[in-house]
Structure 1
Amino acid sequence: MASAPPVTSKETHVLVPAALTTPTVTPVGSVPEGKVADYLTGKLVNDTAEEYVRQNIEKALVRQYKYAAKDCEPEFPIRVGSSRKRVDIVVFGPGQDHAQANAYILVETKKADVKPTHRTEGIGQLQSYMAACLNVQYGMWTNGDDRFCYAKRSDGKGSWTFDEIIDIPGFGQTEEDAQRPKRRDLKVATADNLLFAFRRCHNYIAAHEGKQKTEAFWELLKLIFTKIEDERSNKINFYATPSERENASVATSAKKRIQELFKNKVVLKYPTIFEARDMTIDLKPSVVAYVVTQLQGYSLLASPVDVKGVAYEEIVGSNLRGDRGEFFTPRNACRMAVTMLNPQPDERILDPSCGTGGFLITAMNHAVDHIERSEREQWIDPANGTDAERQELFRRRSEYLSQCVFGIDLNPALVRAAKMNMVMNNDGSGGLWQANTLENPHMWQSDLRTRVPLGSIDVIVSNPPFGTKIPIDDEGTLSQYELAATWDQDDAGNWTIRRDKHGNPVLQKSQPPEILFIERCLQLLKPGVGRMAMVIPNGILNNPGLAYVRHWLVRRAQILAVVDMHRDLFQPGNDTQTSMVLMRRLNSEEIANAESTGLDYPIFMAVAESIGHDKRGNVIYRRTAEGEDALVSRVETVTEIDQETGAEVLREIEVTERQVDDELPEVATAYLRWLSEQR
C-alpha cells in the first residue's frame, strides 16, 4: 500500500506542484499535423475518416487474422479493364511477390457515411476489383459500422459470382473454419474493431426489430453474455452458419441453439441479472443469426480489458446514461486515480456510485495484476506454471474477486449493466447491489449491510452523481450527515453547526448529492487507513458559500492529492469543472488534533492541462515544438502463426503511433515519485 505523508498538529498546507514526468513510451519522432503513420508501412498518410477505418483493419489483418505484415500492402495498384485502380489493402500469398496475379484477399475501407449500396464506392466496387484479379479468393468491404465479406466463385461460364460469407479466413484457416470457428480460431480483438462489431449489432437490431434503443441494447447484452459463457465451455456452440444467416427459415435453428445456450448457461448462472421475464431472447431468428455471426469469431474473455471496456461503455453510455447527473468516468481518469491509490490484493474496494463499473473494474484489475505477479514470482518457470501453480493463482484470484470487490448504484439498469461488464472482465459480479448509498444503511438489504458496513472499506473509487437538479431533500436521509446541517461562521472565522433549542442540528432544506457522498464515503472507510479517490466539482473546493464543507473536510480527512482536471473531461455531455481528490480518513485521535490545533502535512497538487480528447470527444494528439504530431514507440506482445511450422508463437513487436495528448499517466507517475520522497 502507498502510505500517506505524515501529519502533525498545525494547519499549514504545503502545496507541492506536480513535476510532470516523461511518458513511459519512447518518443521516436514526429508526424506533421493532419498525417498519420500507416500501420503496415510506417509511411505518413492523410489522417481522414476513411484512414481511421483502414488503420483498424490493417491492425486486425496482422493481429487478429495472423497475416504477416510483409504480405499485406495498402493502396496497391491493379488494372481493371483499361484503367488502373488502387485497392485499399491487398493480402498476398505467403512470401509471394506483390503482384496483381498473387493477390489473395482484397479489402475496401470507407468512411462511416458511405453506404454499401453507393454506386461507385459500395460493394460493387469491391466485386469489380475481385473480378479483375484472377487469383483473388476473398474480399471485405467495410465502413466500420457495416462489414461485408465475399468469396469469389467461378460460374463455370468464364465469369464470377460472389457469395456473401460470414468472415474471411485467417492465415492457415479454411473457409469452412472461418464460417464456424473452433476454439483455436477465436481472435483477440484489437484497436476499435470490437467497438465496430458491437455498434453493427446494436444498429442492426434497432433497424430490423423496430425496438427502442434501450430495448435493442438489452437484447444485444443477452447475446454478448451467451457468447462469454459459451467460451467457458469445452465445445463452442455460439455460432451461426452462412445458410442460417441468409435464409430466414433456416435461421430458426440458429435461434433455437442460441436460446438454449442462454437459458441453460446464462439465466441459471446469473439469476440476479436475468429474471424470469428475461429468459427469452426477444429477437427474430434472422436478427439473432446476424448478430451471432458478427461476434462468433472473437474471444471476448481473452480480449484486452481496455478494448472491451471502450466498446462496451460506448454502447452502454449511448443507451443508459440517465438524467441523474450520471457521466461515466473516462478510462484514463480511472487509471490515473487507481495508480495513485495502488490498491493491494488484501484490501476491500468499493465504488458507492458504480455506474457501469468502469472505475471498479480498473481498480479490481490493478489488484489482480499484483496477485498474478506475486504468484508467478514463486513459480519454477514464471512463464509457464504447473497445473498446481496455475490452480493456486486461480484460487487466489477468485477469492479476491468474491470477497474484496463491491459496488452500489441507485439506477437498477446501470447495476445490471455493471454486473455484465464485470462478467465480461472475468468476474462473477456477486458484490454489486442496487441501493441508495446515501440513505440510512439500516434501510439497505441485509447482505449489503453485512458485507459493506460503515468503517469496513480500505479503498473507495468514486465519481458520484452531481448537480443541483437532483437535490437530496428527504429529512431522514439528511439527518445522517453533518454536511446536511446549517453551518454558521463567527467573527474569528470558526465554523459551527447551528442547533435548535433542543440541541438538534438545523438541517438545510436540501443538499446536492456530491456533498453528502463525501461524508458517506469517509464513513465507509476504515478509520486511519482507508483512502479514496473521488471526482469532485470544483465549486466545492473554491466556492465561498461552501467554505463550511472544506472546514469540515480537513478535520475529517487528510487530503493526499488534488488534481485539477481539464474542463473537457466529461465532454461531450457535461462541462462541469472537476478535480480528482485523494484523501485518507483520519482516526479519532487525528480528528481531535485537527479540531484543536489543525494538522500540518504536504499535499500533492497538479493541473491536467490535457486529458486526451477535446470537447467533442475527439482524440487529440501531442505536438512537438514545431507543431507536428509527436510519435512514440512501445513494445507490444502479439500472437502470430509461424508460417513454416503453423504453430502459434508469442512475439514482441515495436509499435509506432501518435502520442495521445494525455497528461494523466504522467500525473500518476509524478504523484508516486512525490509520495516516495515524503517518506
Structure 2
Amino acid sequence: MKDYIQIGIEKGLISFNEDKSRIKYCYQGKERNYNNPEEKVQALTFLQLILDYNYPVYLIRLFVPVTMGSEVKEADIVVYGDELCLRPLILVECKKQEVSEAEFQQAINQAYSYAFALPGEVKYVWVTSGIKNEYFEVDKTQNTRNQLPDIPQYGVQEIANYKYVYGAEHLPKEDGKQRFFDLSVIDQADLTRRFKQAHEALWAGGQLNPSEAFDELDKLIFCKIWDERKPRKMGEPYDFQIITISKKEEKDEHKRRLKENDNLYNRVKALYEEGRKRDAEVFRDNIRLTPEKIRTVVSYLESVNLGETDLDSKGRAFETFMGSFFRGNFGQYFTPREIVKFIVDVLPITHDSKVLDTSCGSGGFLLYALNKVRNEATDYYPNYKNDAKQYAKWFPYWHDFAEKNLYGIEINEQISRAAKMNMIIHDDGHTNVITSDGLVSDAAIKERTGNKGFEYGTFDFIITNPPFGSNIRQTEQAYLKTYQLGKKEEDWLAVKAKAGDNTRDGQQSEVLFIEQDYLFLKEGGMLAIVLPDGILTNSSMQYVRTQLEDWFRIVAVVSMPQTAFAANGAGVKSSVLFLKKWPKDHTEELESKKKSFEAKLLKDADYIAKRDLWDREIRQKQKEKVDSLKSHDLKSATAIKQTQAYKEWNAELLAEYAAKIDDLKSTLIDNYLARKQKELPDYPIFMAIAEDIGYDATGKKTAVNELDIIGEELKKFIISLDRI
C-alpha cells in the first residue's frame, strides 16, 4: 500500500508539527487541524491528485470560497484547467471515513450545489470518504448526473468506462491516454471500516435485518475473492467493479443507471455461480440483493485487493467486523484469540496433521492451525514471493493441508457460513467446514454431507471449545443412548444392579463432546479442549474423570482466570485440558485392572456379606421394635409404623447403619485409590495457573499475557512426551 503521507512529506507537498496535530499544505501555505477526521481524507485526496493523477500542485486550490446565496461556504478541493486558476475543472468533496451511506449521498448533493455555484464550467465532481469514491461528469446546461468510473488524469480527455484492471502497473504509459489502476492492498482498520459500512448500507434502509445483511455481504465478499482468483490477461478489467455506460449509448440518466446495475448484477451472479459449483456448501441459497444494493457494496470493495492483503490483517478485519455484529447474540461462538493462539502454538501441528474442531464456531482454531502450517511453509520456502520455483513448492504445502486435512463442524448455520467465509478470507480451508450437530455419529455426518473425511479414529489433533451447559436430553436427541457418558455410571460399591434402561435422562453437552472427540481421534492423537472446572472438581463428575483416565493420558491442565470468557458473556471458570489418546489395548488393560482391584477389595473386605448382614440386622431390629410396640399399644404393625415415635426411632437406626456403610465405603475407596496409585502406570502432568491472559473482563488488552510463558514451557513438555 502506497504511503501517500510519507511521500508527500518527502516531496515537500505537506509537513506536520511535532505531535502531528497540525498539517501544512506547503504550496498553498495553509495549515489545518489534522485531528479532524475529514482533514485526513482531504490530505490523502490532495496527494492522490498529484501522485496518481499527475496534476501539478499549482493547479490545485484548497478550501475555495463558494457563494451560496447570502452564505459563503468552502469547497474542499478545486482542480483548475488553467495556470491562473480561473477555470475550475474538478471539484472534490471530502467526508470522514465513517460517513454513512445516507450522509455520502447528501455529500454528493452538496458537491453538485458547489459545482453549480462556482463560476465557469466545472466538468467533474469527485466525492470521497477515503474508502468510498464516486465520480460524476457535470453539465451545467442540464440537471443530470452522469456517473463515471473515475476522473481524468492530467492531460487526459477521454475516460474508459472502467477503472480497475489486472496488472495495471505493467501497462505502458502514454501521454494523453488514461492510466488504469490495479487493486490496492489496504490495512486492517481500513478493511474493517469497509466491511462495517457496506453491512450498514445493506440494512439501514430497513429492507433487510442486520442478520440477513451479514449473509448477503458474505456472498458478495465471496464473489469479490473469486473475481480476484480468476485468470486474466494483462490489462483485462475486473468484473467486481462498477462499469459505466456512456451517454452516447443511453441518454436517459435513470435508464443508464438501471442498465449499469443489471450488467453488474449479471457479472456478480456469474462469479457466484462459478464459485458455488466448486463448493456448494459455502452458500446454498441465491443472492437476494437488488442490483442497486449490489452496486452499493461493490462501491466499498471494488478497489481492494483482498488476495494480496496481509493474511493476518484481512483475517483480523473480518473477525473484528464479524465479532462486532455477532458477539452480542452469539458470544459463545468466539474463543478469545489469546486462548486460541496458546492452544495451537503448543501443539505440534504440521502440514501432514489431520485437524478437527467439533464445535468450530467462527473458525478461530482452524484459522490458527492453517496459519501455523503456512508459517511452517515459509520457514522452508522463505523467498516464495520472489521465486516461482519456491512458490510452486510452498503453495501445495499449506493449500493441501487446508483442502484435505482441516475440518470443522458447527451446528448454527449462520455462524457456519461465517466460519467458511473466514476461511476463504484466509485463502481457503473452507471445504471441510460443515453445518451439523457436532454430536451425531460420523456415519450420520458422512451421509448428510457426502464428506468422507469425518471418520472416527482418523484425526491427529482436535482443538475445540465446546458449548457449556446445554443439557442434551434423551427425549430430544436419541443419540444420547449411544454415548458411554450418556449412560448412568456403574457403582462398584452398589449391592444390587438396577434393572431397566440405564440411559441418563440428560447429559451436559461438554461431557458428550469429550467422548465424541475421543472417537474422532486416532490412537496417539491429541485433544486440546476448554472445559468448565466443575468437570475437574465436582464429586458428581468423578465418573467423567475416571473415564478420562481410561481413554487419555492427561498431558496438561492449564487453569484460566474467572474472567477468561466474561467479555463474551460467560462467567464459568474453566481450564484447558491437553489429552493424548491411549491405544485401545492400553485402555482395555486399565479398565481390566480397575475391575480387578474393585473385585479383590470387595472380596477382601467381605463387602457383600457385610452389607447383607447389616440389611438383615436392620430388618430384625425393625421387627423387634414393632412387636414390642404392638404388645404395649395393641395396634397393628402398619399403624405402629405410622407413629411419630417409630419414625424417629427408625431414622436413628437407619442413620447408624448408613454411617457404618459410609465408613466401609470410604475405607474401600481409599484402598482403591492407594492400589491404583501404586499399581497403575504413573506419569507426570503439566499443571499451570494463568491469572493474566492478555485482556481483562471487558476484553480490554492488558500488558501481560502469562499464556506466552506457560506456552513455551508446555511446548517443551509435549515434545518430551515420547521420551517420558
User: Closer, same or farther in 2 for the Cα pair 1:82/1:405, shift >3 Å?
Assistant: closer
List aligned pairs for 1:359-398, cutoff 5 A.
Answer: 359-374=365-380, 376=381, 384-386=386-388, 388-398=389-399
**Residue 482 of structure 1: aligned partner:** 484
Give the Cα–Cα distance (whole angstroms) in 2 for the partners of residues 104 and 485 of structure 1.
79
**Residue 226 of structure 1: aligned partner:** 223
**Residue 586 of structure 2: aligned partner:** 590
User: Closer, same or farther in 2 for the Cα pair 1:389/1:313, shift >3 Å?
Assistant: closer
Q: Given that residues 75 and 93 in structure 2 are in contact (C-alpha distance below 8 angstroms), is that contact kept between their aligned partners in structure 1?
A: no
**Residue 214 of structure 2: aligned partner:** 217
Q: After TM superposition, give the deviation of residue 337 of structure 1 in Å.
A: 0.9
**Residue 453 of structure 1: aligned partner:** 455
User: Closer, same or farther in 2 for the Cα pair 1:154/1:145, shift >3 Å?
Assistant: closer
Give the Cα–Cα distance (whole angstroms) in 2 for the partners of residues 614 and 240 of structure 1.
44
User: Closer, same or farther in 2 for the Cα pair 1:582/1:253, shift >3 Å?
Assistant: farther
Give the Cα–Cα distance (whole angstroms) in 2 for the partners of residues 414 and 308 of structure 1.
18
Give the Cα–Cα distance (whole angstroms) in 2 for the partners of residues 515 and 296 of structure 1.
47
Question: Secondary structure of the residue that 2:164 maps to in structure 1?
Answer: coil
* AA in 1 matched with 2:95: W
Give the Cα–Cα distance (whole angstroms) in 2 for the partners of residues 450 and 574 of structure 1.
35
**Residue 419 of structure 2: aligned partner:** 418
Q: After TM superposition, give the deviation of residue 562 of structure 1 in Å.
A: 2.1
Q: After TM superposition, give the deviation of residue 213 of structure 1 in Å.
A: 1.3
Which of 62, 66, 72 is the equivalent residue of 2:3? Answer: 62
Q: Given that residues 693 and 707 in structure 2 are in contact (C-alpha distance below 8 angstroms), is that contact kept between their aligned partners in structure 1?
A: yes
1:278 aligns with 2:285: yes
**Residue 647 of structure 2: aligned partner:** none
List aligned pairs for 1:273-312, cutoff 5 A.
Answer: 273=280, 278-279=285-286, 281-312=287-318
Give the Cα–Cα distance (whole angstroms) in 2 for the partners of residues 373 and 400 of structure 1.
16
User: Closer, same or farther in 2 for the Cα pair 1:275/1:429, shift >3 Å?
Assistant: closer
**Residue 576 of structure 2: aligned partner:** 580
1:164 aligns with 2:127: yes
**Residue 528 of structure 2: aligned partner:** 533
Question: Secondary structure of the residue that 1:400 maps to in structure 2?
Answer: helix
Higher RCO, Cα 8 Å, sep 6+: 1
Q: Which sits farther off after the overlay, 548-557 or 436-445?
A: 436-445
Give the Cα–Cα distance (whole angstroms) in 2 for the partners of residues 463 and 105 of structure 1.
58
* AA in 1 matched with 2:33: R
Give the Cα–Cα distance (whole angstroms) in 2 for the partners of residues 85 and 444 of structure 1.
62
User: Closer, same or farther in 2 for the Cα pair 1:61/1:209, shift >3 Å?
Assistant: farther
Give the Cα–Cα distance (whole angstroms) in 1 for the partners of residues 486 and 60 of structure 2.
69
**Residue 444 of structure 1: aligned partner:** 445
Question: Secondary structure of the residue that 2:561 maps to in structure 1?
Answer: coil
Deviations 1:444-482 (A, max 9, x none): 333657322211111111121222466565463122222
**Residue 182 of structure 1: aligned partner:** 165
User: Closer, same or farther in 2 for the Cα pair 1:434/1:69, shift >3 Å?
Assistant: farther
Give the Cα–Cα distance (whole angstroms) in 2 for the partners of residues 437 and 126 of structure 1.
62
Give the Cα–Cα distance (whole angstroms) in 1 for the partners of residues 62 and 542 of structure 2.
65
**Residue 670 of structure 1: aligned partner:** 713
**Residue 509 of structure 2: aligned partner:** 513
Q: After TM superposition, give the deviation of residue 584 of structure 1 in Å.
A: 0.9
Give the Cα–Cα distance (whole angstroms) in 2 for the partners of residues 342 and 205 of structure 1.
43
Q: Comparing both structures, which one devotes a greater share of its residues to strand?
A: 1
The structure with more radius of gyration: 2
List aligned pairs for 1:38-437, cutoff 5 A.
Answer: 62=3, 67=7, 73=16, 74-76=20-22, 85-88=32-35, 89=40, 90=43, 130=77, 140-142=94-96, 144=98, 146=100, 157=119, 163-165=126-128, 166-167=132-133, 180-183=163-166, 185-233=182-230, 234=232, 235=236, 236-240=238-242, 250-271=256-277, 273=280, 278-279=285-286, 281-317=287-323, 326-374=332-380, 376=381, 384-386=386-388, 388-427=389-428, 429-437=430-438
Question: Secondary structure of the residue that 1:303 maps to in structure 2?
Answer: coil
**Residue 43 of structure 1: aligned partner:** none
Q: Given that residues 346 and 715 in structure 2 are in contact (C-alpha distance below 8 angstroms), is that contact kept between their aligned partners in structure 1?
A: yes
Q: Given that residues 438 and 516 in structure 1 are in contact (C-alpha distance below 8 angstroms), is that contact kept between their aligned partners in structure 2?
A: yes
Q: After TM superposition, give the deviation of residue 174 of structure 1 in Å.
A: 5.3
Q: After TM superposition, give the deviation of residue 536 of structure 1 in Å.
A: 1.2
**Residue 552 of structure 1: aligned partner:** 547
* AA in 2 matched with 1:671: L
Give the Cα–Cα distance (whole angstroms) in 1 for the partners of residues 444 and 291 of structure 2.
44
* AA in 2 matched with 1:157: P
> TM-score if structure 2 supplies the norm length?
0.64
User: Closer, same or farther in 2 for the Cα pair 1:139/1:621, shift >3 Å?
Assistant: farther
Deviations 1:351-394 (A, max 9, x none): 111222221122122123323433x27xxx666323x5433433
1:607 aligns with 2:686: no
* AA in 2 matched with 1:288: I
**Residue 701 of structure 2: aligned partner:** 620
Q: After TM superposition, give the deviation of residue 586 of structure 1 in Å.
A: 0.8
* AA in 1 matched with 2:711: A
Unaligned regions of 5+ residues in structure 2, if any? Answer: 52-56, 64-70, 136-151, 168-181, 247-252, 594-678
Question: Secondary structure of the residue that 1:559 maps to in structure 2?
Answer: strand
Q: After TM superposition, give the deviation of residue 414 of structure 1 in Å.
A: 2.6
State the superposition RMSD in angstroms: 4.5
Q: Which sits farther off after the overlay, 663-672 or 137-146?
A: 137-146
Q: After TM superposition, give the deviation of residue 158 of structure 1 in Å.
A: 8.2
Question: Secondary structure of the residue that 2:522 maps to in structure 1?
Answer: coil
Question: Secondary structure of the residue that 1:420 maps to in structure 2?
Answer: helix
**Residue 645 of structure 1: aligned partner:** none
* AA in 2 matched with 1:407: G
Give the Cα–Cα distance (whole angstroms) in 2 for the partners of residues 297 and 568 of structure 1.
41
Q: Given that residues 104 and 138 in structure 1 are in contact (C-alpha distance below 8 angstroms), is that contact kept between their aligned partners in structure 2?
A: no
Question: Secondary structure of the residue that 1:602 maps to in structure 2?
Answer: coil
**Residue 44 of structure 1: aligned partner:** none
Question: Secondary structure of the residue that 2:276 maps to in structure 1?
Answer: coil
Question: Secondary structure of the residue that 1:541 maps to in structure 2?
Answer: helix
Q: Given that residues 248 and 286 in structure 1 are in contact (C-alpha distance below 8 angstroms), is that contact kept between their aligned partners in structure 2?
A: no
* AA in 2 matched with 1:360: L
Give the Cα–Cα distance (whole angstroms) in 2 for the partners of residues 551 and 83 of structure 1.
76
Q: Which sits farther off after the overlay, 341-350 or 575-584?
A: 575-584
User: Closer, same or farther in 2 for the Cα pair 1:319/1:163, shift >3 Å?
Assistant: closer
Give the Cα–Cα distance (whole angstroms) in 1 for the partners of residues 97 and 408 of structure 2.
38
User: Closer, same or farther in 2 for the Cα pair 1:183/1:167, shift >3 Å?
Assistant: farther
Q: Comparing both structures, which one devotes a greater share of its residues to helix?
A: 2
* AA in 1 matched with 2:404: Q
Q: Given that residues 78 and 86 in structure 1 are in contact (C-alpha distance below 8 angstroms), is that contact kept between their aligned partners in structure 2?
A: no
Give the Cα–Cα distance (whole angstroms) in 2 for the partners of residues 264 and 517 of structure 1.
41
User: Closer, same or farther in 2 for the Cα pair 1:215/1:349, shift >3 Å?
Assistant: same
Q: Given that residues 267 and 275 in structure 1 are in contact (C-alpha distance below 8 angstroms), is that contact kept between their aligned partners in structure 2?
A: no
User: Closer, same or farther in 2 for the Cα pair 1:363/1:77, shift >3 Å?
Assistant: closer
* AA in 2 matched with 1:361: L
